[in-house]
Amino acid sequence: MRSSGLLLGLPLLLSSAWAAAMQALDDIELDAVNGAGVGFFLDGFLYDQDSAMARIEGFKDSSGNPVTIQLEDSYIKGQGSQRGTLDPLANIGTPLHPFRLGVRNASEIPSLPAGTEVLQLATPTWTDPLNDTHHYGLWAYYQGCLYGEAGCTNPDLAVGRLNSNLSALTSRQTALLQRYASVGFLTLKQGIDTDMAQLQTRQQAVDAATAQVQQARSVMEARYAAAPNNNKPPLGQKYDCFIICTNSNIRAYNDAVDDWTAKNEALMNAQIALSQVWQTQRHGYSLSQRSQDYTEFASLCGEPTSQQPTCSGGRIAKMEGDRASLVLVSTSLKDGKTRVPGIDLGFGAEFSVPSTAWSGSASNATRGATTTRADFFSLNIEGFTLHGSYVNLWGNAAGMLGELSMQLYADKLILGACRTCTDANRFVAKNVYLDLNLGHGTLQPLSFSMLSDGELRFRLPGVTWANYQQFYAQVPKSNISIVNLSLSNVNLGAQAIRGLRVDYLDMRTVNLPR
């Protein structure tokens, strides 16, 4: 194991010989600094596990058999290390763009409740478009290929692709506006609300009828169990008694079947009545169609505030805003500017895992013996940056609270299952962008707690009737995208989750096996 050239900078406390931009503060300047926290960076370093081995134990399979993991060849180096085989030095932060750990308050962070102070860990932030992960990650998604590779040297591909998507959305907007041009969207909304009130009433009737069916079925099942076995029909069918049933249990069961059948019929009628509301016609369109159209328009353009609304928000406005980011990035690239190099990191691992052999047809396979399998697995990440990420932590009577924003970008993420092979045998994801935002200090603080049984709990409070307008305007969404995924040289294209917001979350860990 070896490391090289480690330099830890504490800009407020130390002066670094390397960091020419740093200057000593005079007494007046020092006096003005209060609670500014600590900045740090790692400059010119590398980590290489080399031939050393590390072992992880304690994992088990679902049957309780031990699983052993042997780590090998782990490394952290500068970008261009060729999967750790070369030794370019890595930089995590710089004197001008350090990681920051410090106390911040609500006057500095608008999402926090008034009077709240938090402990914040923030990664380096950059304002130029190539190193601002929001701008670059978005551009990389629309660009559709890894910039600099063959066929991907035109930075304007991203803008062209966005324009094409935007055109499709505005066509839908125009079509919906034309459909209700003589009606107006406020009038359309009034009609939907009126019909929805009737829908809710009928939904309640369906709920009540469902409960009655369930109750009737329970009675029927109990009486079925008590009925004699001689010539017993299937559950739900009556005994054939010709004219009269002499056995009281049979009569009771047959009555229960009649009641269950009647309740089912009532449920069906309630469902039909409910469904018919969706067919209520206004302006030539059913409630179902009107509701879909209104929802689609609101999704495209934001909630209509006039009879002939323009796009004030929604996906179209968002996409138009995105275009500005793409232009900034493509302009910078055409000007010959470059990104600050990221880091490369990776590891290999050998898993010793119990494996059960199955054989036979896919519809009727047979379980065979369980033996121990030795699996190789590797992970490599190239050009990895975390610019613009932060986590804010604070506490109150509810426990530890937080909000986090993770801005992760990597040129490539490679998973392998072979020691001696090429990327043609691996999982290769390009332009990987994780824009993950969880929690909002005021409207949805993320809480962490430990339950009395030792399990962990993570909660994001739900949106409420009292705060939903602020919630939807302020709680940030998340995006995850891979521009190109290749699985062992088979192209599986782009994968994306766009505009994800978790409106409520309650997650409790559970010990396995259950």
Partner 1 sequence: MSKSLLARLAAPCLSSLLALNAQAALTEMTDKELSDITGQALLTLDGLTYGGFQYTRLNFGAEIDVLLNMDELRMGEFDRSGLPGLASNQPADILINNFALGRVRNNNNANATIEPFKIQDPYIEFAFKVNSQGVREIAGVRLGFGKAMGYLSGDILSLTGKMQGKIYGPASLGKDYYMQQNGLNDFTCTFNINCLALSLAGDTEVYATVELLQQGTGNKILNGVPVNRATHIGIPAGESLQTDATGLIASLIPTLTMASNCSALGLTTCFPLTNYKSIFVGDPSNQNNINLGGAQGIFFSLQNQNVPWQDLANIGQFVETQRGAFANFAKTGSGANTAYPFVLTLFDALRGTAREPTCMGSQAAGC
Q: Which 446-505 positions form the footprint of partner 1 (CB under 8 A)?
A: 449-452, 462-465, 468-469, 471-472, 477, 485, 487-505
Distance CA 375, CA 62 (A): 18
Instruction: Name the residue nearer to partner 1 (CB basis): 282 or 477.
Output: 477
Cβ 463 to partner 1 shortest distance, Å: 6
Strand partners, 435: 407, 479
Residue of 15, 82, 194, 200 that binds partner 1 (CB under 8 A)? 200
91-130: contacts with partner 1 (CB under 8 A) = 103, 117-119
What is the bridge-based pairing of β-strands 38-48 and 456-460?
Answer: unpaired
Q: Residue holding tokens 């049957």?
A: 63
Q: Is residue 169 a contact partner of residue 299, using CB atoms and an 8 Å limit?
A: no
- Interacting stretch for partner 1, rule CB under 8 A, among 76-84, 90-98, 124-132, 368-376? 368-376
- Interacting stretch for partner 1, rule CB under 8 A, among 18-26, 44-52, 223-231, 372-380? 372-380
Q: Is residue 277 a contact partner of residue 195, using CB atoms and an 8 Å limit?
A: yes
Q: Does 40 bind partner 1 (CB under 8 A)?
A: no
Within 10 angstroms of residue 229's Cβ, the number of other Cβ atoms is: 5
209-248: contacts with partner 1 (CB under 8 A) = 210, 214
Cβ 28 to partner 1 shortest distance, Å: 17
* Amino acid (one-letter) located at 56: I
Cβ 299 to partner 1 shortest distance, Å: 3
Q: Does 282 bind partner 1 (CB under 8 A)?
A: no
Q: Is residue 373 a contact partner of residue 353, using CB atoms and an 8 Å limit?
A: yes
Cβ 436 to partner 1 shortest distance, Å: 13
Cβ 65 to partner 1 shortest distance, Å: 9
* Amino acid (one-letter) located at 416: G
Q: Residue holding tokens 């009569």?
A: 251
Instruction: Name the residue nearer to partner 1 (CB basis): 192 or 345.
Output: 192
Cβ 504 to partner 1 shortest distance, Å: 4
Instruction: Name the residue nearer to partner 1 (CB basis): 55 or 498.
Output: 498
Q: Residue holding tokens 């054989």?
A: 359
Instruction: Name the residue nearer to partner 1 (CB basis): 244 or 397.
Output: 397
143-182: contacts with partner 1 (CB under 8 A) = none
- x-or-dash pattern for partner 1, window 415-444, by CB under 8 A? xxxx-xx---xxx-----------------
55-74: contacts with partner 1 (CB under 8 A) = 58-62, 64, 67
Residue of 259, 376, 404, 406 that binds partner 1 (CB under 8 A)? 376
Contacts of residue 201, Cβ cutoff 8 Å, sequence gap at least 6: none
Instruction: Name the residue nearer to partner 1 (CB basis): 47 or 377.
Output: 377
> Total binding residues for partner 1 by CB under 8 A?
117
Distance CA 247, CA 241 (A): 10
Distance CA 25, CA 12 (A): 9
Q: Which residues of 418-447 are buried (b: 16+ CB within 10 A; e: fewer)?
A: eeeeeeeebbbbbbbbbbebbbbbbbbbbb
The DSSP symbol for 321 reads H
- x-or-dash pattern for partner 1, window 294-333, by CB under 8 A? xxx-xxx--x----------xx------------------
Contacts of residue 284, Cβ cutoff 8 Å, sequence gap at least 6: none
* End-to-end Cα spacing for the chain: 40
* Amino acid (one-letter) located at 431: N
Within 10 angstroms of residue 498's Cβ, the number of other Cβ atoms is: 13
Q: Does 340 bind partner 1 (CB under 8 A)?
A: no
